[in-house]
């Protein structure tokens, strides 16, 4: 192999990045990922050329949308015929396909040109941290998220909590031990999960959504 071939390979090889979407804002991370998928972070970037890199995004189930977006914002689905439009609120969409929100946020940051779909094809999204081994082997680098993952109270050990300096002591009747999950939350056994309801009408089920992807049954938690 000649030197110029080696240089060519080093310049044009597609670098694989890993992105951990846990507690990240999908809009901000979508901007970052779209830039990398298009190759805009490279000095050799030129709009007509395909110079983008590959991104493996994991933990998309745990993205953190801003404000009240889960409830207030929606995916607007326009179907071809009159009076067939409908909105899917994002919490519902996330339930149907946990990778869809991040996917749409990245797609939203891509310009409307012909290379859009080809660039998007280089994005691999996974709802959890389970990634196929052959994809994970490719990964070379990591994209830094824009948000720092805070330390949650239930991840802090009880020693640290006791050692934490307190200015005064609360009266006992005001203290509620909310770290005791079992008091409030019960993990529902599968036989108690309600069965799929009988469909009424032609398009009653979620499987009639065009984007429907059958997902593995995720943990459902019921609060008493």
Per CB under 8 A, residues contacting another protein are 1-3, 6-7, 9-10, 13-16, 54, 134-135, 137-141
Nearest distance from residue 121's CB to another protein, in Å?
Answer: 13
Nearest distance from residue 1's CB to another protein, in Å?
Answer: 6
3-class DSSP state of 216: coil
Question: Residue 134 has which token pair?
Answer: 């052959």
DSSP string, 154-173: GGS-HHHHHHS--SSPPPGG
Rounded CA-CA distance 89/96 in Å is: 11
Q: Which is nearer to another protein, 4 or 214 (CB)?
A: 4
Q: Which is nearer to another protein, 13 or 215 (CB)?
A: 13
Q: Which is nearer to another protein, 137 or 212 (CB)?
A: 137
Question: How many Cβ atoms from other residues are within 10 Å of residue 92's Cβ?
Answer: 15
Q: Which is nearer to another protein, 18 or 101 (CB)?
A: 18
Tell me the CB-side half-sphere exposure of residue 80, using CA atoms within 13 A: 1
Nearest distance from residue 222's CB to another protein, in Å?
Answer: 42
**Residue whose token pair is 């995720």:** 218
CB 101 within 8 A of CB 60: yes
Strand partners, 18: 56, 142
Q: Which is nearer to another protein, 15 or 28 (CB)?
A: 15
> Cα–Cα distances in Å, from 161 out to 152, 154, 156, 170, 174?
12, 10, 7, 14, 17
**Residue whose token pair is 């939203």:** 108
Nearest distance from residue 19's CB to another protein, in Å?
Answer: 15
Nearest distance from residue 91's CB to another protein, in Å?
Answer: 36
Question: Residue 182 has which token pair?
Answer: 């079992």
Nearest to 63 by CA among 22, 121, 98, 33: 22
Q: Which is nearer to another protein, 115 or 138 (CB)?
A: 138
Nearest distance from residue 6's CB to another protein, in Å?
Answer: 5
């Amino acid at each position: 192999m000649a030197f110029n071939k080696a240089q060519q390979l080093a310049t044009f090889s597609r670098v694989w990045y890993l992105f951990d979407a846990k507690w990240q804002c999908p809009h901000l991370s979508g901007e970052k990922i779209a830039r990398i998928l298009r190759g805009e972070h490279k000095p050799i970037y030129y709009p007509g050329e395909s110079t983008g890199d590959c991104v493996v995004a994991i933990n998309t189930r745990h993205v953190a949308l801003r404000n009240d977006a889960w409830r207030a914002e929606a995916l607007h689905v326009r179907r071809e015929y009159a009076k067939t439009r409908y909105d899917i609120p994002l919490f519902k969409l996330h339930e149907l396909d946990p990778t869809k929100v991040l996917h749409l946020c990245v797609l939203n940051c891509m310009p409307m040109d012909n290379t859009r779909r080809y660039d998007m094809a280089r994005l691999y999204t996974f709802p959890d941290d389970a990634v196929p081994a052959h994809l994970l082997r490719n990964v070379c680098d990591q994209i830094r998220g824009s948000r720092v993952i805070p330390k949650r109270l239930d991840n802090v050990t009880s020693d640290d909590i006791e050692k934490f300096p307190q200015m005064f002591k609360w009266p006992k009747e005001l203290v509620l031990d909310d770290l005791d999950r079992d008091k409030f939350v019960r993990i529902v056994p599968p036989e108690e999960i309600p069965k799929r309801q009988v469909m009424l009408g032609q398009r009653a089920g979620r499987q009639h959504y065009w984007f429907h992807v059958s997902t593995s049954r995720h943990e459902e938690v019921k609060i008493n």
